[in-house]
Amino acid sequence: MPVSRNFQIVGWILVAIAAVAAPLVFHPLFAMQILCFALFAAAFNLLAGYLGLISFGHAAFFGVGAYISGYAVKSMNISPEIAIVMGTAVGAAMGLAFGIIAVRRQGVYFAMITMALAQLVYFICHQAPFTGGEDGMAGIPRGNLFGIIPLANNYVMYTFVLCVTGLGLALIYRVVNSPFGMLMMAVRDNDRRATSLGYEIDRVKLQAFVLSAALTGLAGAMKAIVFQFASQTDIVWATSGTPVLASLIGGIGTLAGPVIGAAVMVALENLLSGFGEWVFFVQGAIFVFVVMFFRKGIYGELKGWAERNGGSRPASRPADVSSGPVATMPQAISKSAS
Amino acid sequence: MEILGIPIQALAGQLLLGIVNGSFYAMLSLGLAIIFGLLHIANFVHGAQYMVGAFVTWMLLQYLGISYWWALLLAPAVMFCLGVAIEYVFLRRIYELDHFYGLLMTFGLLLMIESIFRYYFGSTGLPYENPLPGGINVGFMFLPYYRAWVVGVSLVVCFGTWFMIERTKLGSYLRASTENPEMVLAFGINVPLLLTLTYGFGVALAGFAGAMAAPITNVSPTMGTHLIIIIFAVVVIGGLGSIMGSIVTGFALGILEGLTKFFFAPASTTLVFVVMVLILFIRPAGLFGKERP
Amino acid sequence: MSEICLSVKGLNAFYGESQALHGIDFDIRRGEVVTLLGRNGAGKSTTLMSIMGLLKNRTGSILFEGEETVSKPANLIARAGIGFCPEHRAIFSSLSVEENLLLPPIVRKGGMSVDEIYALFPNLAERRSSRGTSLSGGEQQMLAIARILRSGSSLLLLDEPTEGLAPIIVKVIGEVIKTIKARGYSILLVEQNYRFAAKLADRHNIVLDGKVVDRFDAVSDAASLDHIKSYLSV
């Protein structure tokens, strides 16, 4: 249930201010890190929150997207926007491959399979020469956007990343609010019923998976150019856990959740960066804490609070709902038909 | 010595390594299968519990001078207690929730446990002395005593566990609770206690595997990290529904891996995953799987 | 008149937010067969689940042999001496017939021995090593009843024991219930087959919308049976 209009307008204004001010208040690299990670988390959340498929292998798309775009810019002299498209395309292709294999099983098995497939990709990348193996791919140039706009300036780069991330998030918003999005949620809530009504749920899952993987590849591709570095840390299994945690902290199954969670996690990481292993310890502790006590996440809790305290409750809308029983099948169907 | 152009000694050596690896795959996927069957928790932290078992073994020797043979009993006992504590404090609260929360929570526990050990012990491995040095020449290969011991003991432990579950009264409680825990409760059995003890047992099994691994691999905080993902692939291949399935699949994959290492080494690290992909197309429910895919 | 073994007063039960039982009242004396009759959804099974402690969200009073059990967990209620035979029998497919039979622990002295049970149910003896669910529906029902005879429970909760069974098997089940009643078990019988129930029961309770709306002693005349039927038909 969306909160009242005023709340939303205020929210959007705050977001716009934050987006413009961020590179000025914080270091632009920090702000870009948040954006890339926010897109990564949001792409994961598309699958996890709205379709109910928890993938523990998204690092594969992220890392390979990074390698592809990095290699394109560095060794093939391709201009950055095309390199990013290439990273996205490869991400989508991998998503198709992963998806065809993984959607054969459900739930926890699905997670295990995606994890194993990502590990497979990790080993392949480790052995492939172009990735630079353990040393990684360094010195990726920023290049010139469209051949003419130099991206070496952090503020210019930031504007580009902001636009791309914004477009990515907008795409996710559109998908979630479309008939396809409603179908996704219907499959999440009751896949047997969806099948009995004639929907090919494997098709739905696969399409969503490809989209999620593509956007993740996009995030990775951008990240490689922003930080001018791609390495196997991007593909390691622990990286697959980061969008999960970000979405969980922020609120699974909401649109703002992953973005908020991403900001929290990047901030935390930078705060604790001097403390080595404690970053992971804190991440793990937050995981445990959130699963036990805080499953709705920051945005989920905020929305719940706002609704209870004066936000209007219009008739059920399927968009932007937090996880839990949501629009039931018949409602979803009639909505998509109207 | 060569037969048909294949150096038998090298092949046998690789096969032995494969069976040894398979022993660990079997023991670890067995523990995971038992925990998942009864508690419906995908115990992501299983690899870390294996690692802690190895460390306990190392610490018992290092700080208390307790030998390997006692550690084989004590390390699992310590891990049993740790498992009971984890179940009681953390896992118990999430049984009612969707199953993936179990995966998420154990993932969090994994991050916590591994980071603590990495902090105190670094990432490089610590050596542990082989308690059964030497070996015997059986003609076509040299058989180290310790490796033979590992294979023997894991076979005993695996089949002992299988027997306990499939043929004893306690096992019937476990099997019944896996199917319909409410009904078992309605008969008067303290099912929550059974869940706690079962988790403890699964963790003890992981710890036992860790103790056995100490003399073979270096005891390091990351020794369970990549292993857990292989174990996950093993259970997807074998199917989590069957105890015997996990054991057989674990050993079989170890042997297969050994053969692959001999004939085409670069593929050996990825073999298990490739097999997993194949199985998902041929038999989605797993080789011995009983549930709907 | 023998003493009261189960006394239910003002039992309310909730499935989440929705209330399923609105103040159920009835009692059972030792050695009696008492029924809960009613349409589908009336709350009969819910009442059994509440007595057994499987439905946790319940208020009111459930006195079993003088002890309050309304807030006890199910395993302690079983250990107090109540045995449960659920709808659809709940035979475990991963256990053999004999394992199914021996699963419930002995909670009190006085239960039937395995030999006595096999004497009462010879076809179970024959199939004792088969998988529990490989038995026919009727045999599974007998196994479900047999299980709780061994444990020493004194009160048996039977939820629709004749559901889905052929008339000839229903007759056998009736004989079994008569036999165990003669041995002194108290039985709470939930049934939709009111003719079957009428042959066995000492007293009837009619359940409608989560309440007991009528109760009477055993009947066998046609008029009374029609009276019962009127409660059950849609």
Which residue from B97, B100, B104 is facing A107, i.e. has the nearest CB? B100
A interface with B, Cβ–Cβ < 8 A, is 54, 56, 101-102, 104-109, 111-113, 115-117, 119-120, 123-124, 127, 237-238, 241, 244, 248, 276-281, 283-288, 291-292, 295
> What are the domain boundaries of chain B?
8-126+135-282
C-alpha radius of gyration, chain B, whole number: 19
Cα separation, C34 vs C203, in Å, equals 5
What domain range is C141 assigned to? 4-232
pLDDT for the residue numbered A100? 93
pLDDT for the residue numbered C234? 62
Instruction: State whether B119 and A244 contact (CB < 8 Å).
Output: no
Cα separation, B126 vs A44, in Å, equals 38
Identify the segments of chain B with pLDDT beneath 50: 293
pLDDT for the residue numbered A207? 94
Residue C234 CB burial class (10 angstroms; 0-12, 13-18, ≥19): exposed
ipTM of the complex: 0.92
C interface with B, Cβ–Cβ < 8 A, is 52-54, 73-79, 84, 86, 90, 92-95, 99, 102-105, 107, 147, 151
In B, minimum Cα distance to C90 occurs at B183
pLDDT for the residue numbered C75? 94
CATH of the domain at C153: 3.40.50.300
Q: What are phi and psi of B165, to 5 degrees?
A: -80, -40
pLDDT for the residue numbered A14? 83
Instruction: State whether C92 and B190 contact (CB < 8 Å).
Output: no
Q: What is the CATH number of domain B8-126+135-282?
A: 1.10.3470
Q: Give residue-wise pLDDT tens across range A296-327.
A: 888 888 888 877 876 555 444 333 333 333 32
Share of chain A above pLDDT 70, in %: 90
**In sequence order, what are the residues at sequence separation of 6 or more whose Cβ sits closer than 8 angstroms to the Cβ of residue C27?**
C4, C6, C7, C8, C34
- Assigned token pair, A212: 């999620």
pTM of the model: 0.88
Which residue from A108, A279, A281 is facing B42, i.e. has the nearest CB? A108
- Assigned token pair, B159: 């089949």
Chains with 3+ CB–CB pairs under 8 A to C are: B
Q: Which amino acid is at B242?
A: S
pLDDT for the residue numbered A3? 57
Which residue from B104, B225, B274 is facing A248, i.e. has the nearest CB? B104
Min Cα distance B181 → chain A (Å) is 20
Q: Give residue-wise pLDDT tens across range B101-122.
A: 998 999 999 999 999 999 999 8
Q: What are phi and psi of A139, to 5 degrees?
A: 65, 35
Contact call for residues A145 and A130 (beta carbons, < 8 A)? no
Q: Is B102 on the interface with A (CB under 8 A)?
A: yes
Instruction: State whether A288 and B90 contact (CB < 8 Å).
Output: yes
Which residue from B169, B180, B185 is facing C92, i.e. has the nearest CB? B180
- Assigned token pair, B151: 């294979």
- Assigned token pair, A37: 């990670």
- Assigned token pair, A138: 């360094």
Q: Give residue-wise pLDDT tens across range A236-255.
A: 888 899 999 999 999 988 88
Rama region for C186: left / alpha / beta (φ>0; ψ in -120 to 50; rest): beta
pLDDT class of A197 with cuts at 50, 70, 90: confident
Q: Which amino acid is at B163?
A: F
HEC string for chain B: CEECCEEHHHHHHHHHHHHHHHHHHHHHHHHHHHHHHHHCCCCCCHHHHHHHHHHHHHHHHHHHCCCHHHHHHHHHHHHHHHHHHHHHHCHHHHCCCCCHHHHHHHHHHHHHHHHHHHHHHCCCCECCCCCCCCEEECCCCEEEHHHHHHHHHHHHHHHHHHHHHHHCHHHHHHHHHHHCHHHHHHCCCCHHHHHHHHHHHHHHHHHHHHHHHCCCCCECCCCCHHHHHHHHHHHHHHCCCCHHHHHHHHHHHHHHHHHHHHHCHHHCCCHHHHHHHHHHHHCCCCCCCCCCC
Domain count, chain C: 1
Q: Give residue-wise pLDDT tens across range C31-81.
A: 999 999 988 888 999 999 999 999 999 999 999 999 999 999 999 999 999
Q: Which amino acid is at A211?
A: L
- Assigned token pair, A49: 């929150």
pLDDT for the residue numbered A2? 55
A154 pLDDT exceeds 90?
no
pLDDT for the residue numbered B247? 93
A194 pLDDT exceeds 50?
yes
- Assigned token pair, A132: 């630079």
